[in-house]
Structure 1
Amino acid sequence: MQSLSTLVLAALLITSVLFYLHRYILSLYTFPHIPSARLARLSPLWLTLQARRHRRYAAVHDLHSRLGPLVLIAPNHVSIAASEAIGVVYGHRGGWVKSDFYDAFVSVRRGLFNTRDRAEHTRKRKYVSHVFSAKSISEFEPFIRANLRLFVEKWNALCNTTSDGAAHGEGSGSSCSSKQTKIKPETAAKGWTVIDCLPWFNYLAFDIIGDLAFGAPFGMLEKGRDEARIESLDGKAATTSPAVDILNRRGEASATLGCMIWLKPWAHWLPDPFFRSGTQAVKDLSGIAVARVNKRLAEVNEKDGDVSGRQDLLARLMEAKDENGEKLGREELTAEAATQLIAGSDTTSNTSCAGLYWICRTDGVLERMQRELDEALTNCKGDSQSNQDRADINIPTFEQVKDLPFLRAVINENLRIHSTASIGLARIVPPSGATILDTYFPPGTVLSVPTYTIHHSPAIWNPDNDPAFSPDVFNPDRWAPKRMTKLQKESFIPFSQGPRACVGRNVAEMELFLIFATVCALFNVVGLEGGDGKGELETREGFLRKPVRNVVGIKKRK
């Protein structure tokens, strides 16, 4: 038996060596002229390690800076940092599908985000497109503004308390919570209240998506902490856990396992506790969606199936039918609701937090925003059709701010410099093959276009070599119509492009317009801490690139 075990282990070792040696030789034969990261031709381990270190986007960007627009980052995965590749890899033509990287994100069952089959994606997209129709989006605004109103109430309450100089916002339960930070004495004397705004943007984003996707906020703003109910699929076991922390751990572990997808079934037994924590987070995130969907369905059943009283995302999903007139089953409904929770929560909070970092640390930007908002809202008392507005909290409407040019420029510049999804989104070359940058890629090759690198390309964003418009500089003026080039417009991909682009883009933009307009119109903000020591926002990467903290001083505007 001992000899047999030795033979089995030796066979497994030899098989593994031959497998990776075969991939190495195949890579050399297929892409002999494409430079690669160290050992990337031999194994996807290099890319996996970068993801585990929360710096995949930065490592790939560094490779492109040194080696050029084509870089091999795994034996069969080429990263292409060129605007010409965007329309080919992510466009509507050619039959490109997502790679097995997305299998790492499947939990209850496949949703719109991680479905790889084209026919199945088309079916799901029809459901969800109905949810995000123009009429539906207009009906979402009251829910967004109601949560913004509570957000402002909480910040007003913080401003009304006497600050001891310590940053409010710790203890959120998030892995990205703030360190204890002391404000400078001269700043405190002027009446600034110090907060880490990251937890507050987390509470706001989760409450908004809870309101839209599940029929009620999570209550994080009201409680001032990160907490959500978790249930099993049978609805019997129930606990509470920090949702933001769960989402962070899930994203980090899944994005790492996606680089070596065969590791996923064994993740719980890997010696690194990072993977055990991440796989548990995947289950917990599903449990949050299960709990909220169960609660909503129970309420609907009490009304004999009537969902017409509240026009939100979940109501639209419950009403949706396929071409055969069939509605979503409970599991699929839960999976799609979970997809909306994931796509609409930390994306919004991260972008809001990063935006405020750049706004209050870039000379003149906040003042210009406030002048534009003051002029637009001079005679505004909030939504005149709502009786919920308090006299001291006037939340702008989307109609009042959606066409403000400088506000849009700030939001676009924030989406460029802080690309929430900074990594290249992997796609498989279809049977017809593909030629990009005079290089032929055979069917089955995995290609991706790194968003961060495209958004920070000097050739695209600073062709005149003007230091004021360096791609690493936050400068909303680069979005002035007279400055924008066709190449820049085509290379701006914060929501991706083509049939797999973000279906909720319009809702996301509405949220960002309302959040930035509200915060900047009602508060003065000064940046204190949150950088990495080099003038950049300190971030941590999972599937998304997330701020670690953003400590600011806030003061109510008169």
Structure 2
Amino acid sequence: MSPLEHLLNVSPTSVLLLIPTLVILGHIVPWLVDPHGLRSFPGPWLAHFSDLWLGRVARRGQRSHVVHELHEKYGTFVRIAPNHLSIADPAALQIVYAHGNGSLKSNFYDAFVSITRGLFNTRDRTAHTRKRKIISHIFSQKSVLEFEPHVRNYVLSFLQQWDRLCAEGAKSARGHEGEGGWRSRDGRIWLDCLPWFNYLAFDIIGDLAFGSPFGMIAAAKDSAPVAKSQEQALSMYGQDASKCETVAIPAIKILNDRGEYSAAMGVLPPWVRPLVKRYVPWYSRGSEAVKNLAGLAIAAVAKRLASPAYRADVLSKLQQGKDEDGNPMGREELTAEALTQLIAGSDTTSNSSCAITYYVASNPEVQKKLQNELDEALQGEDDPASSFDAVKNLPYLNAVIDEGLRLHSTSGIGLPRIVPEGGMKIGDHFFEQGTVLSVPSYTIHRDVEVWGNDASVFRPERWFERDSEAMQRTFNPFSYGPRACVGRNLASLELLIIISSVFRRFDIALEYPDKQLEISEGFLRKPLKCPVGLKRRLT
């Protein structure tokens, strides 16, 4: 009798006993063999044997904070999975993520693939080099400046909406409650600013990536069209987009769900992912969010490409891009890159704008100092939406933004990299090929040796007082090295215009001054809400 026949003849009871035995052996044996030499490093007991510890932490949405507490307990090196070491050392940034070191992205990034692999989730070095060659010029400083009129246009619409609410609230001295949850009290309009920053970021990136906004600012509503059939929309590449059937979805919510799902799925072993996607409801809903977000990009690209008119936006530049063999992107690749820009461009801008607003509003002295700088630099400027040239070199504004990005990093988790052939040495430790290493931005941004004993405090003045070289080496809001965020220039332009425009025009107070900003973390750390009070300034 063959081994297969023996297996088929095993009783159900034996199978039930065999499965847990295999699972246990599958975790114990690798720990005993210790192929990557990580057994001596401290960390949670379960993390030494299984990826499930990190999966549970990621699922709860507090990964950066939990890993930070582990570093405070254990020190620089913490084992967070059987083959994953977190290293809280600023010097490790230049080693783990350096140009030319040969390290690759881990299978964590496979969980972020939907239409096809894009620049963000491509793991192959050759494919990444090709994609970056096509895309990087789009986000050069020169190209980004072409996008500035679009950015300022939506910032102006955003300010006009807040102006309108302030005017409506001022009509009633006794207070007033308005549609959308805002209310007037004590001479201010009180609202949650997070949804508004989401509307602004989505409309900006919708215009830049797809040629038209989603209309969220005007409607004050989270709604965007998604293709009912992705196959149908992809097949209509460059044709009449009116024939593509769409339905409205809450795009911001789905984007959040997608980020949480992919970040939690990515830390699980590849063989587990299909099982949890099928049998665990939370992961099933996340999988649907991935599909819906892809459908949004497919519908938007189909609509944009149906119009032959050229405009200075990301999609037009993506179409013009060619690799070293002169080949342009195919339709799926083009759509995947547009989706990447939608996800990265909306989430980073809205999260950062909200967090910076929270920190400035929670520090009245900082807000006053910032407003004095803006008033002096922009006196005589009639346009409420600041120009990039007018604010790009304002020292305190830049310090405020950098301090906000330090405490609320665009991505706080340590992005995982695989040690290449030949190994890698960090400090006194040598790591074998295949070991997964990461450097958590959340933790190194709170390193007291770099930032001072008040590293957990929002204080922009530190950027003028401390060792600027050490701070710049440690500052990592957009990652580091050849796979750093390609859209950094655009994000910086947007934040300079948004933060300067908002605080020049409004005095902002926190509704609950003693309450910390609530955060949930998927791939990015996202505020859950930020209730503030607005009052028009007299400038």
In the superposition, the TM-score normalised over structure 2's length comes to 0.92
2:153 is equivalent to residue 146 of structure 1: yes
Could you say what secondary structure the match of 2:482 adopts?
Answer: helix
8 Å contact kept, 1:246–1:281: yes
Residue 14, structure 1, aligned to residue 32, structure 2: no
Matches within 5 A, 1:64-83: 64-83=71-90
Could you say which residue in structure 2 is the equivalent of 1:557? 537
Q: Does 1:420 align with 2:400?
A: no
Q: Matches of residues 447-486 of structure 1 in structure 2 within 5 Å?
A: 447-462=437-452, 465=453, 470-480=454-464, 482-486=465-469
Matches within 5 A, 1:222-233: 222-231=218-227, 232-233=229-230
Is this contact kept in 2: 1:111–1:336, CA < 8 A?
A: yes
Q: Distance in 2 between matches of 1:498 and 1:199?
A: 32
Cα deviations by residue, 1:253-292 (Å, 9 ceiling, x for unpaired): 1101111142332333223x22111100000010010010
Partner of 2:106: 99
Secondary structure at 1:495 match in 2: coil
C-alpha contact 1:320 1:327 (8 A) present in aligned 2: yes
1 CA distance for matches of 2:178 and 2:87? 43
1:155-184 C-alpha deviation (Å, 9 max, x unpaired):
0110011377678685xxxxxxxxx7987x
Tell me how far apart the structure 2 counterparts of residues 284 and 60 of structure 1 sit (CA, whole Å): 31
Task: Report the residue type matching 1:508 in the other structure.
Answer: A
Q: Pick the aligned partner of 1:268 from 267, 277, 285.
A: 277
> How many angstroms apart in 2 are the aligned matches of 1:405 and 1:168?
38
Out of 281, 285, 288, the position equivalent to 2:293 is 285
Matching residue of 1:192? 188
Query: Aligned residue for 1:208?
Result: 204
**3-state SS of paired residue (2:47):** coil
Provide the rounded CA distance (Å) in 1 between the counterparts of 2:340 and 2:142. Answer: 21
| 8 Å CA contact 1:167, 1:195 repeated in 2 | no
Q: Determine which of 37, 42, 51 is the counterpart of 1:35.
A: 42
CA distance in 1, matches of 2:523, 2:511: 27
User: 2: distance between equivalents of 1:45 and 1:65?
Assistant: 22
The residue identity in structure 2 corresponding to 1:475 is R
Q: Which stretches of structure 1, 4 residues or more, deviate above 6 A after TM superposition?
A: 166-169, 180-183
Amino acid across the alignment from 2:221: R
Q: Which residue in 1 is equivalent to 2:127?
A: 120
Q: Deviations over 1:224-275 (max 9, x none)?
A: 100010013212542110111001000101101111142332333223x221
Contact between 1:212 and 1:312, CA under 8 Å: does it hold in 2?
yes
Report if aligned partners of 2:377, 2:390 keep a CA contact under 8 Å in 1: yes
- Residue deviations 1:194-233 (CA, integer Å, cap 9, x gap): 1110000000000000011000111000111000100132
Q: What secondary structure does 2:364 align onto?
A: coil
Q: Which residue of 1 aligns with 2:396?
A: 406
SS in 2 for 1:229: strand
**Residues 226, 295 of structure 2: 8 Å contact kept:** yes
Give the number of equivalent residue pairs. 515
- Indicate the SS of the match to 2:511: strand
- DSSP-derived class of the 1:554 partner: strand
Distance 1:381 1:181 in 2: 28
CA distance in 2 between counterparts of 1:539 and 1:460 reads: 25
> Which residue of 1 is the match for residue 59 of structure 2?
52
Q: Which residue pairs with 2:240 in the alignment?
A: none
AA aligned to 1:359 is: V
Deviation at 1:405, TM superposition (A): 0.4
Q: How does 1:105-504 map to 2 (within 5 A)?
A: 105-162=112-169, 188-189=185-186, 191-231=187-227, 232-233=229-230, 234-235=232-233, 236-262=244-270, 263-271=272-280, 273-300=281-308, 307=309, 309-382=310-383, 394-462=384-452, 465=453, 470-480=454-464, 482-504=465-487
Normalised by the size of structure 1, how large is the TM-score? 0.89
Structure 2, unaligned stretches of length 5 or more?
1-7, 234-243
Partner of 1:40: helix, strand, or coil? helix
Residue 540 of structure 1 is matched in structure 2 by: 520
Indicate the residue corresponding to 2:238 in structure 1.
none
Q: Answer whether contact 1:21 1:42 (CA < 8 A) is retained.
A: yes
The answer (yes or no) to whether the contact 1:165–1:194 under 8 Å persists in 2 is no
Deviations 1:437-472 (A, max 9, x none): 20111000000001100001112211xx4xxxx011
Distance (Å, rounded) in 1 between the aligned partners of 2:443 and 2:496: 26
Q: State the match for 1:387 in structure 2.
A: none
The residue that corresponds to 1:388 in the other structure is: none
Letter in 2 for 1:331: E
Measured at CA, do residues 115 and 165 of structure 1 come closer, stay the same or move farther in structure 2, by a change above 3 Å? farther
RMSD: 1.9
Residue 324 of structure 1: SS of its match in structure 2?
coil
Residues 29, 420 of structure 1: alpha-carbon distance in 2 compared, 3 angstrom cutoff: closer
Whether the aligned pair in 2 keeps the contact of 1:165 and 1:193 (CA below 8 Å) is no
Measured against aligned partners, the alpha-carbon deviations of 1:294-340 in whole angstroms (never above 9, x if no partner) come to 0011112xxxxxx5x31110010011111111111110000000000
CA distance in 1, matches of 2:177, 2:29: 55
Q: State the identity as a percent.
A: 48
Offset from partner CA, 1:68-120 (integer Å, 9 cap, x none): 00000000000000012100001102201100001011000110000000000
Distance in structure 2 (CA, Å) of the matches to 1:93 and 1:478: 33
Instruction: Name the amino acid aligned to 2:58.
Output: A
Alpha-carbon distance between aligned partners in 2 of 1:261 and 1:378, rounded to the nearest angstrom: 57
